[in-house]
Chains A and B, each alone.
Chain A
Amino acid sequence: AQTVTQSQPEMSVQEAETVTLSCTYDTSENNYYLFWYKQPPSRQMILVIRQEAYKQQNATENRFSVNFQKAAKSFSLKISDSQLGDTAMYFCASMSYQFYFGTGTSLTVIP
């Protein structure tokens, strides 16, 4: 089974600043995918960014980027120029055959 660990249950950041959310995972699979999902107060899960494990290049999606360290099994999310709408729970997830989610990081953007 895979495990996903998010060691920061809560974080806060000033509006317009940069914040990094950490995630580590454990898998024995060679082919897998990594994701960050955002869950705002409305509770709908929204994909933030996706990384294919066989790709060395870090994924980037506008203000969101990842630092994927395959050997260390680390997959952190960097949010640049934080906005109030970024306030949400952020879940890291890994997938080979099943999705495994971490316990989440609650991010608050402070105006």
Chain B
Amino acid sequence: EPEVTQTPSHQVTQMGQEVILRCVPISNHLYFYWYRQILGQKVEFLVSFYNNEISEKSEIFDDQFSVERPDGSNFTLKIRSTKLEDSAMYFCASSWEVGYEQYFGPGTRLTVT
């Protein structure tokens, strides 16, 4: 069964550094998403991406964040100048169509020290 993959599984970075989290969505999916889950809290929507542009974003997704689909397979989330409060699990997801099942990746645990 096709699956969403994410790398790395765990990323440790120092405050103020830039990180790039990588995702490979399911190949025939058209919609891509990033979510974050601070430990012990609910999953929060960050951004959705369709047709090479952002279709929706939440209030969390400010200028510190950016997304890109640099080639036909990868979907990346860049966090500039990381802060301690950016420490969380970041999940990538993809879907064939809006409203259909979103397939989630295993997540990247980001720790900012």
Contacts and interface: CB of A to CB of B under 8 A. Distances in A.
Given A43-B89, A43-B106, A95 B42 contact: no
Contacts of B35: 99
Given A43-B89, A47-B101, A99-B35, A91 B106 contact: no
B41 A103 contact: yes
Contact of A33 (B45, B99, B105): B99
B81 interface: no
Given A43-B89, A43-B107, A44-B106, A101 B44 contact: yes
B102 interface: yes
Contacts of A91: 42-43
Contacts of B43: 45, 91, 93, 99, 101
A102 B104 contact: no
- Give the interface size bracket for B toward A: 20 to 34
B18 interface: no
A42 interface: yes
Interface in A36-81: 37, 42-47, 50, 52
Contacts of B68: none
A95 to B, nearest CB: 6
B67 to A, nearest CB: 15
B48 interface: yes
Contacts of A99: 33, 35, 43, 45, 102
A64 to B, nearest CB: 14
Interface in B87-101: 89, 91, 93, 98-101
Interface of A: 32-33, 35, 37, 42-47, 50, 52, 91, 93, 95, 97-104
Enumerate the 5 nearest inter-chain pairs by beta-carbon distance, A residue then B residue, closest first: A45-B104, A101-B43, A33-B99, A103-B42, A47-B101
7 contacts: A47-B101, A95-B98, A95-B99, A101-B43, A101-B45, A102-B42, A104-B42
